[in-house]
Amino acid sequence: MRYEFSCKVSVATTLDEGFVVGMRSFAGNPYDGHTLKEVLEQVTILTDRRPDLPVVDRGYRGPGVEATRVLISGTRRGLTPKLVADLCRRSAIEAEIGHMKTDGRLARCPLKGTIGDALFAVLNACGHNIRKILAHLRAWLA
């Protein structure tokens, strides 16, 4: 996802709940496939677990990650029904990104420089997770 001037943000969420487990900004406008390895490393560092099956959109075609199998949306050949359901669930991430852009104001970064972009992305991910937790608590207590 592109935001501000020449900065790209990559979002890693859980497939079931939609919690953000990794969010990283990249200076310039790099190709999506080149950012996947670094995002997976960030998720591994933050969660102490390597993602079993990253599900990505078509922009991540090209340079692959050898350590894990990557499931690219649009592929249907040789998939089990569980993997097809995971691909359908991936489209829910787009709504999460939309909420981060509107509710968290991710569309425009007020901080300066590449460090400001990185901090703003991480803080936005934290705020998004807190909003999701509060919504679950509100529903549970009501």
Provide the residue-wise pLDDT of the chain in tens; the chain has 142 residues. 544 456 888 899 998 888 999 999 988 888 888 888 888 899 999 999 988 888 888 877 766 677 677 878 877 788 888 888 888 888 888 888 888 888 888 878 888 888 988 899 999 999 999 999 999 999 999 8
What phi-psi label fits residue 80: left (phi over 0), alpha (psi between -120 and 50 degrees) or beta? beta
Taking the mean position of all CA atoms in its chain, how far away is CA 46? 14
Among residues 80, 93, 119, 108, the alpha carbon closest in space to that of 20 is found at 93
Query: Is residue 109 within 8 Å of 116, Cβ to Cβ?
Result: yes
Q: What DSSP designation does 103 have?
A: T
Helices 92-102 & 81-90, crossing angle to 10 degrees?
20
Global pTM value: 0.82
Whole-number pLDDT of residue 3: 46
- The side-by-side arrangement of strands in the sheet containing 2-3 is 2-3, 7-13, 20-27
pLDDT of residue 60: 77
DSSP 50-102: --SS-EE-GGG-SS--SSS--EETT--TT--HHHHHHHHHHTHHHHHHHHHHH
CB atoms closer than 10 angstroms to residue 49: 9
> What's the confidence (pLDDT) of residue 5?
53
8 A C-beta contact, residue 128 and residue 20: yes
